[in-house]
Chain A
Amino acid sequence: MTTLQRKTHPRTLSRFATALIAAAVMGASAQAVAQEDDPIKVGILHSLSGTMAISESTLKDTVEMLIEQQNEAGGLLGRQLEAVVVDPASNWPLFAERARELLAQEEVDVIFGNWTSVSRKAVLPVVEELNGLLFYPVQYEGEESSENVFYTGAAPNQQAIPAVEYLINEVGIERFALIGTDYVYPRTTNRILEAFLKDEHGVAEEDIMVNYTPFGHSDWQNIVSEIRRFGEEGKPTAVISTINGDANVPFYRELANQGIDAADIPVIAFSVGEQELSGIDTAPLVGHLAAWNYFMSVDTDANYDFIDAWIEHTGDEEAVTNDPMEAHYIGFNMWAEAVRKAGTTDVDAVKDAIIGVTVPNLSGGYAAMMPNHHITKPVLIGEVQDNGQFDIVWQTPSTVAGDAWSDYLPGSRDLIADWRKPMECGNFNVVNGSCGGSTAAEEAEAALAE
């Protein structure tokens, strides 16, 4: 710099400086103009190929539909929205890469994405490092709360626990078969449920049967016949199913073929929705149960409007809606509301503004964003009908707030999450009063990894 000063004539220098300032001013105004005219970018991070495409591709379409609707209504802050779609191809490390691409290159303002917990765990460090916003729409095992992630699906206390209470109190079930796919969500959920059944309801060890099967398991003969025998001991028996994805189709088919009727041994599922049922003839399954926070059969005008819009968007008369789609509907509207409230799409401003934002859900109530980045949801129990829909037989009297850290696991019992100032902590230990200072978080992590 000194050499430059020595060599340059003072007048040239001043002229140079003026030019610089002018350029800067022009640049700034250009940028301001760009901000007003440029569309708001919404990233969509859902697999469009590979195993998870079956579930995730409809969520991509959902967000696209919501963006279209928002644009027709005049956009947001006077700007149009634009979808940026990437395909992580059901490949967990690729999720992290694609998230980085969305945040660093495309500079999206928000991301809607992920389905499996393992893909969310892969994306988490990227979103935190680049300070993005991620809306995660699927029911999950809990034990997590990130500053940059908003969990619009159910935590275990919004699905599994009320479902089991329904079975015990309303149906009078005394024996439980916990059947699940062998990975983190079913194992954690079943650990929570086992602890809950034994400690809170005094269910004996021999009245609980636990069984895990690999992903995509298709030969259910033995397990179904074992369940049948388990249920023939004279006590009312139910199956709690955390079987994931399309392994459900052969499972239910085998149940029907072996003549297990819902009136004898009901199966309550946490991962089976309208989408999964659209692959099977449901006549033999009538009466089996599912616990969700939304069903397509919810009888409200908002829901019928949503379904009509969805059918129009997909052009498929038979198209079904499901719980994660509603979660995206809620998440999208919450984000839009927070952006309106903050007057900007700036991540930090939106993050602060969104806590406490309340938007209508599709079941006639309201969803509020809690300080732990989970939302309030009603819990619905539905029975399968012969047309592939669920008939709602029970629901919680009011909405339930999502609990990031389960009250039934040692380790996570003492943790709370609160992202409001001044606490701003995702794993605050109420016993020793420190944020993440205890080993509880790691203990919970280790419990998950087991």
Chain B
Amino acid sequence: MRRFLSLGLLCLVLLSTAMTAQAQSDPSTPDDQAALALLSALDVNSYRDKGEAITAILQSDDERARDWLQALLDGRLQRADDGRFVLVLDNRGRDWPVADALTKESLGDMSRRDLDRIGINNALRNQLRSAIAVVDLYSPNVERRRSSADRLLGEVDGELAETLEPVIAEAEDDHVRMRLTQAVAIYRAEQGEMAGVEALTGSLHPRARVALGRAANSDDPIVADAAAAALAGIEQQLKINRGLETLYFGLSLGSVLVLAAIGLAITFGVMGVINMAHGELMMLGAYTTWMMQQLLPGQPGLALILSIPAGFMVAALVGIAIERGVIQFLKGRPLETLLATFGISLILQQLVRTVISPLNRTVVTPEWMSGSLVINDALSLTLNRMYVLGFALVVFAGLMLIMRRTRLGLEVRAVTQNRAMARSMGIRATRVDIMTFALGSGVAGLAGVALSQLTNVGPNLGQNYIIDSFMVVVFGGVGNLWGTLVAGLSLGIINQVLEPWAGAVLAKIIVLVFIILFIQKRPRGLFPQKGRAAEG
């Protein structure tokens, strides 16, 4: 494998000179025949032979080599029934648009029955990536040079290390220079050279750790001691990073719990309605996201942003329907409300199953939400969860504003504290009920929009969150939005701290037992309501 790389690199020097010469001559027939022979060597069953064919392509001085290798890596290099090699431009559906691999001329659509893909496996994929990385080291595109340098970490051998020295000296980009220096240092450390060990001190990259681990077993006691010391320092750093990571995991799980529970904190906490259909309102929010993406194909990001108001509206309207249709007739009868809303949740689920599909729907994650934010080699924060965390905080702040600063909030608080008094002061309690329930339901819809980015959008989405939501509200203190925030985030963190050593199943049980014990001690939760607001 490493030998291929070095060979490829040597040829590259030839290639760059050959390329200029070739660019002037027309693509002649003998040239294409040679290319065809190169590609035909790929069309074999054995992956080992394919690997050799890839090396041959890399060593050929053909300027199309990189395109072919990239197409092969992407599974787009295919052979038609008539023996021609084609590049598939789009492999969805039954007929695919293709272009000739040699001339790049479009050949129109071809049926997938008439095409045979040149298959690759993970080993070849590794080889191809490294081969492309070596080619890209000299690319004029800085992004390609950077990813090429990232790729070469841990892939360097003696010959390549020699070749890389001048590249490092000439590198203009800091990232490229830093990575290539590390890559060479990893090789040197593995060889037991002191220079390598010193260069790797403080590096958090796993390959560096493995290299230092090997150096620590070196025969040279000085090198071994230095490597062991470097490793100890790295372990210390890793521990801190691991702690930060767990904290982030906890906050992110907590933010999901807060989002799911905050709507319930209003309908259950403030209004006192046990709404078992709360989860299904979340599901409707998630389906709204899916619907918006169907309406705006190709623009998942815009659709997601538009889903925020749309999801709120849909869930709020359904919430109003539930309140007017059922809950208003069951005032003060919690058991009946519970059963009726449970029935509604089943109806909503089956409705989605019949009208849309029992199958989960694909909600696309927009480009800017996938991947992770790399802090260092040992710590990176996943972007989708970071957005959800931010969104949860914004929703929470918005709700606090509404409850504290608007007339609606004032009326809601008045009605919940003393309904009769509020009514006699001229507040239309029925209208307030509707608005409050719509608000709580709408927030559930918002939670659904966020969840569509983290979990499955299917008829059962709501069921998975309803218990957790009640748990958070009760733990935080019924009727207290701050309580919900603190309870959600702390339960998230507790869960994630426990999970590594207790396992996911046991961690959940421990959290549940903890809450039960806590409620025994403090029945009103973390932040009990005091004064007149407290019932009884």
Q: How far is the CA of A193 from the CA of B100 in the complex (A)?
A: 46
Stretch at the interface among A17-25, A105-113, A124-132, A214-222: A214-222
Pick the contact of B252: A211, A221, A386 (CB < 8 A): A221
Q: Report how far A281 CA is from B362 CA in the complex, Å.
A: 8
| Binary per-residue interface labels of chain B (36-69) against chain A in the complex, 1 for a CB within 8 Å, 0 otherwise | 0000000000010000000000000000000000
CA distance A259 to B371 in the complex (A): 7
Asked whether B75 lies within 8 Å of A391 as measured between CB atoms, the reply is yes
Instruction: Report if A304-B113 is in contact (Cβ < 8 Å); known contacts: A232-B209, A393-B121.
Output: yes
Q: Are A287 and B125 in contact (CB under 8 A)?
A: yes
* CB-contact partner of B496 in A213, A214, A222, A284, under 8 A: A222
Of B209, B361, B503, which is within 8 A of A279 by CB? Answer: B361
The reply to whether B382 and A258 contact each other, CB–CB distance below 8 Å, is: yes
Shortest Cβ distance from A215 into B: residue = B464
CB B205 to nearest CB in A, in angstroms, measures 9
Residues of B with C-beta under 8 A to A263: 122, 125-126, 129
**CA–CA, A272 and B370, complex, Å:** 22
CB A62 to nearest CB in B, in angstroms, measures 14
8 Å CB interface, B495-523 against A: 495-496, 499-500, 503-505, 508
- Note all chain B residues with C-beta closer than 8 A to A434: none
Q: How far is the CA of A254 from the CA of B380 in the complex (A)?
A: 12
Binds B, one of A33-41, A51-59, A439-447: A51-59
Within the assembled complex, what's the spacing in Å between the Cα atoms of A212 and B249? 19
Interface string of A349-391 (1 = CB under 8 A from B): 0000000000000000000000000000000000101110001
In the complex with contacts A250-B454, A386-B75, A53-B246 CB distance below 8 A? no
Partner among B123, B206, B214, B454 whose Cβ is within 8 Å of the Cβ of A171: B123
Contact assessment for B362 and A280 in the assembled complex, using a CB-CB cutoff below 8 Å: yes
Using A222-B496, A258-B380 as known contacts, say yes or no to A386 and B74 having CB atoms under 8 A apart. Answer: yes
- Known interface pairs A57-B358, A246-B360, A250-B454; A221-B382 also in contact (CB < 8 Å): yes
- In angstroms, Cα B455 to Cα A226, docked, is 20
B256: Cβ under 8 A from any A Cβ: yes
Complex Cα distance, B59 from A394, in Å, reads: 28
Interface readout for B114-136 with A: 1 if CB under 8 Å, 0 if not?
Answer: 00110111110110010000000
- Whether B384 is near chain A, meaning CB under 8 Å from some CB there, is yes
User: Would you call B500 and A226 a contact (CB within 8 A)?
Assistant: yes
Q: Which residues of A contact B249 (CB under 8 A)?
A: 221-222, 225
Task: Given A232-B209, A263-B129, A387-B92, decide whether A299 and B122 contact each other with a Cβ distance below 8 A.
Answer: no
Q: Which of A221, A226, A280, A394 has the most CB of B within 10 A?
A: A221
Q: Which residues of B contact A249 (CB under 8 A)?
A: 360, 455-456
User: Is the CB–CB distance between B92 and A225 below 8 Å?
Assistant: no
Contact with B along A300-325 (1 / 0, CB 8 A): 00001000000000000100000000
Roughly how many angstroms separate A279 CA and B357 CA in the complex, as a whole number?
Answer: 13
Complex contacts, A171 vs chain B, CB 8 Å: 122-123
Given contacts A221-B253, A233-B210, A391-B119, contact A284 B504 (CB under 8 A): no
Q: How far is the CA of A257 from the CA of B383 in the complex (A)?
A: 8
Docked CA distance A262–B214 (Å): 25
Residues 69-107 of chain B, each 1 if its beta carbon lies under 8 Å from chain A, else 0: 000001100000000000000011110000000000000
Which of B113, B213, B256, B359 meets A234, CB within 8 Å? B213
CB-based contact B123/A182 at 8 Å: no
Q: Are A222 and B370 in contact (CB under 8 A)?
A: no
Cβ B382 vs Cβ A257 within 8 A: yes
Q: Are A213 and B456 in contact (CB under 8 A)?
A: no
The answer to whether A218 and B455 touch across the interface, beta carbons within 8 angstroms, is yes
- A438 interface hit (Cβ, 8 Å): no
Closest to A47 in B: B358
> What's the least CB distance linking B131 to chain A, in Å?
13
Min C-beta distance of B94 to chain A, whole Å? 8
A448 to B458, CA, bound (A): 31
Contacts of A266 in B (CB 8 A): 122
- A394 vs B123: C-alpha distance when bound (angstroms): 13
Name the one of B210, B362, B503 contacting A211, with C-beta atoms under 8 angstroms: B503
How distant is B512 from chain A, measured CB to nearest CB, in Å? Answer: 12
Which residues in A have their C-beta under 8 angstroms from that of B119?
391-393
Nearest residue in A to B112 (C-beta to C-beta)? A304
- B365 on interface, CB distance cutoff 8 Å: yes
Assembly CA distance A229 to B350 (angstroms): 42
* A31 CB-CB contact with B under 8 Å: no
Rounded to whole angstroms, the CA-CA distance of A250 and B212 in the bound complex is 35
Residue from A216, A234, A256, A304 within 8 A of B210 (CB atoms): A234
Contact flags B310-352 to A (C-beta < 8 A → 1, else 0):
0000000000000000000000000000000000000000100
Complex CA distance for A280 and B500, rounded to whole angstroms = 27
What residue of chain A has the Cβ atom nearest to residue B465's Cβ? A218
Contact between B504 and A213 (Cβ–Cβ < 8 Å)?
Answer: yes
Report if A48 contacts B (CB, 8 A). yes
A29 within 8 A of B: no
In the complex, what residue of chain B is closest to A280 when comparing beta carbons? B362
Asked whether B353 is an interface residue with its Cβ less than 8 Å from the other chain, the reply is yes
User: Which of B47, B206, B361 is the most central at the interface, judged by chain A CB atoms within 10 Å of its CB?
Assistant: B206
B contact residues around A218 at 8 Å (CB): 454-456, 464
Residues of A within 8 A of B94 (CB): 317
Asked if B460 is at the interface of the complex by the 8 Å CB criterion, the answer is yes
CB distance from A56 to the nearest CB of B (A): 9
Q: Which A residues are CB-close (under 8 A) to B213?
A: 234
Q: In this assembly, does A49 line the interface, its C-beta being within 8 Å of a C-beta of chain B? A: yes
B198 at the interface (CB under 8 A from A): no
Q: A221-B249, A393-B121 are in contact. List 8 more A-B contacts (CB 8 A).
A: A218-B456, A221-B252, A222-B500, A225-B249, A234-B214, A246-B360, A258-B382, A391-B75
The 9 closest A-B pairs by CB, nearest first: A53-B358, A232-B206, A234-B210, A218-B455, A257-B382, A393-B121, A221-B249, A213-B504, A246-B456
Residues of B that sit less than 8 Å from A by CB: 47, 74-75, 91-94, 113, 116-117, 119-123, 125-126, 129, 206, 209-210, 213-214, 245-246, 249, 252-253, 256, 350, 353, 358-362, 364-365, 370-372, 380, 382-385, 454-456, 458-460, 464, 495-496, 499-500, 503-505, 508
A-B contact pairs, 26 of them (CB 8 A): A53-B358, A53-B359, A53-B459, A171-B122, A211-B503, A212-B503, A213-B505, A219-B253, A219-B256, A221-B496, A234-B210, A234-B214, A249-B360, A250-B455, A256-B370, A257-B372, A257-B385, A279-B360, A279-B361, A279-B456, A281-B362, A286-B75, A385-B75, A387-B92, A391-B117, A391-B120
